[in-house]
Structure 1
C-alpha cells in the first residue's frame, strides 16, 4: 500500500513555464517575420499561412506540455486526495506522474500527510478500544456494588466491604484516566531541543533509589528535550524496579544515522509470549498490583512523536531496550 512519488528526472516548474512563455511569444513573432520578409503578394500570403501553421503547432505543443507537466499530475493528486478523504487506503500508494519537481514535492508532502493522518486515526481507534475495555471492569464493579447496597437488610460488614469495593474501583478509574491523559500528552511533539544523558542521572537515581544505575556516554547529546527524555528514562527505570531489577545499565552513543540509547537491567526479563505486547496501552503483567500498564506505551508514543523509535532487545539477560533517534529529532506528531 505504501509508496513514495516515483524518483525520476523531471524539469523544474520555472523551466516549463519559461519554455511555454518563450514558445507563446516566439510563434507569432516568427509568423510576422515570415510575412514581412516575403517580397511578393503570393509569397506574403504563403508566409502568413506558414506563420499560422507554426503558431497553431506551437499552441498545440504548448497545450500538450502544460497538460503533461501540470494539469495531469495536479488532477491525479486531487483525485487521490478525494479518494483518501473517502477512506480509500489504496490511494496512499506512490504517485507515478508528477510533471515537475515542485509538483513532485507537493505530491510527496500530501501523501506523507495523508499517511500520518491515517496512522493517527488507526492509533486513536485502537486506543479507544483499549480504553473502553479497561473501563468496563471498574464500572461493572461499581454498578454491582451499588445494586447490592440498595438492599436494606444487607449486613453492616457486607455493606462496608461493598463500599470499599466502590472506592477501589473509583481509584482504578482515576488511575486509568490519568494514564490516558499522560498517553494523550505523549502524542504531542512538544519536547524539542536536546539533552545530555548526564544532565538527568541525579534526578533519575533519586526517582528510583532502590535501583543502581550505571551510565556510559553521559556527554552524548540526544535530540530530545530534557523534560521528554526524563519522562522516557523515568518510566523505563520504574518499570525495571517494579519487576525486580536491582541494576540498570544505560549507554548513550553517537552514530552517523543518529544517536542511540541502550538500556538493560538484571531483572527476570520478559516472557516470549508477552514480548509482542509490551508497548500496547494498558498491557501489564502486574494486574494483581493494579498496574496501569501504560508506562511503555507512553515511552513508545512520546518517542515516535519526536522521530525516534524504541525496540525490545531479543537477547541477553534481563530486559533490554534500544532507542534510536533520527539525526535531528524531527517532531512528527501522532
Structure 2
C-alpha cells in the first residue's frame, strides 16, 4: 500500500501572498522610520504619507498579479481535479487563464491524465456491458445442455451433440476472457527494440514482402501486430497480402473485398466485428492499436477498398 501524504499544517497560498504583501507594506515604512531617526534628513510625516501611498499601490498591484497568475489557476485546477474524480465531462475543458507556463504545463498534464482515465473507464464499462451480453448466450447453452444431459433416456447422438455445444460455448467464453487480458496488457509499454521485417513475416503463396527493412519495434510487439493484420486479411477472403516498409511507414494491403464505408470508421472500436457468428470478439484491431500507441506508433486505415493499413513510427 502506498504511503499517503502526511497530514500536517501547511500555509495556504492565499496566506503566503498576504504575508508577502504585508512585508512589502512594512519594510519601506520601517526603513523610512530608521533613516529619519538616525539621519534626521526627512520630514517624517510627509515622507511617511508618500511612502505609505506608494507602498499600498504597489502592494495592491502585486497582490492582484499574484492572485491572477498563481492562486486563481491553482484553485481552478483543484476544482477540475474534483470534477475529473466524479466523471464530469466538462472537467477536460481548458482553463480560461493559466497564469504561467508552468501552470499551463500542469493543466495540460491534468487534462491528458483525465482523458486517459475517462477513456479507460469508457472501455471498461463498454467491455463489461459487452461481456455481460456475450456471456448470456454460452451460459444459456451450457444451462440447457446440462438439463438435457441429466436425462438418462437421452439418445447418445443427442448427448454427443450437447457435449459439443458445451465445448463450443466454453471456447467462446475463453476467447472473451483472453481478449480482456490482452486488452489490459496492450496499454502497457513493452521493451523497446527493433527487428527485421523478413524475420517476422515469411513469404508464402499469399504473402508478398514488397520491401524489407528494420522495423523500430521489438519482435514481442511486432509479431502479434503482424499476425493479427494478416489473419484478418485471410479470414475475409484475401488471397494476396502485400507488406512493404517505406521509411517510417509500414503498409499492409490485400486483394480481399475491402472494408465497407459503413464499417471503416468503426474497425478500431473495441468489440466491433463482422464475424461474430464465426467466433470473432471484435478485439483484435483494438488491441493492435493500443499496443502500437503504447510504443509511440500509430495505425490507420489508408484505403478501405484495398484494406490498406499504414503503421507510422
Asked if 1:251 corresponds to 2:248, the answer is no
* Structure-2 separation of matches of 1:174 and 1:228: 23
Q: Shift of residue 315 of structure 1?
A: 4.9
Q: 1:86 to 1:130 in 2, by over 3 A?
A: same
Aligned to 1:140: 140
Aligned to 2:226: 233
Q: 1:282 to 1:88 in 2, by over 3 A?
A: closer
Aligned to 2:209: 214
Verify the 8 A CA contact 1:130 1:281 in the aligned structure 2.
no
Q: 1:322 to 1:101 in 2, by over 3 A?
A: same
Verify the 8 A CA contact 1:243 1:268 in the aligned structure 2.
yes
Aligned to 1:205: 202
Farther-moved stretch of structure 1 (112-121 vs 303-312):
303-312
Q: 1:193 to 1:205 in 2, by over 3 A?
A: same
Aligned to 1:309: 298
Verify the 8 A CA contact 1:240 1:267 in the aligned structure 2.
yes
Q: 1:274 to 1:54 in 2, by over 3 A?
A: closer
Q: Shift of residue 75 of structure 1?
A: 0.8
Aligned to 2:69: 69
Aligned to 1:277: 266
How many residue pairs are counted as aligned between the two chains? Answer: 292
Higher relative contact order (CA 8 A, sep 6+): 1
Verify the 8 A CA contact 1:212 1:248 in the aligned structure 2.
yes
Verify the 8 A CA contact 1:31 1:50 in the aligned structure 2.
no
Which TM-score applies when normalising by structure 2?
0.81
Farther-moved stretch of structure 1 (160-169 vs 284-293):
284-293
* Structure-2 separation of matches of 1:33 and 1:252: 79
What SS class does the counterpart of residue 36 from structure 2 fall into?
helix
* Structure-1 separation of matches of 2:92 and 2:251: 34
Aligned to 1:263: 252
Unaligned 5+ runs, structure 1: 1-16, 326-334
CA displacement 1:299-333 (0-9 Å, x = unmatched): 122123333332223355x32112233xxxxxxxx
Aligned to 1:12: none
* Structure-1 separation of matches of 2:304 and 2:172: 35
Verify the 8 A CA contact 2:198 2:212 in the aligned structure 1.
no
How do 1:181-192 residues align onto structure 2 when only pairs under 5 Å count? 181-190=181-190, 192=191
Verify the 8 A CA contact 2:254 2:307 in the aligned structure 1.
yes
* Structure-2 separation of matches of 1:104 and 1:34: 44
Q: 1:164 to 1:60 in 2, by over 3 A?
A: same
Q: 1:34 to 1:72 in 2, by over 3 A?
A: farther
Computed over aligned residues only, the root mean square deviation of the Cα atoms, in angstroms, reads 2.8
What SS class does the counterpart of residue 265 from structure 2 fall into?
helix
Unaligned 5+ runs, structure 2: 1-16
Q: 1:181 to 1:302 in 2, by over 3 A?
A: same
Which TM-score applies when normalising by structure 1?
0.77
Verify the 8 A CA contact 1:265 1:320 in the aligned structure 2.
yes
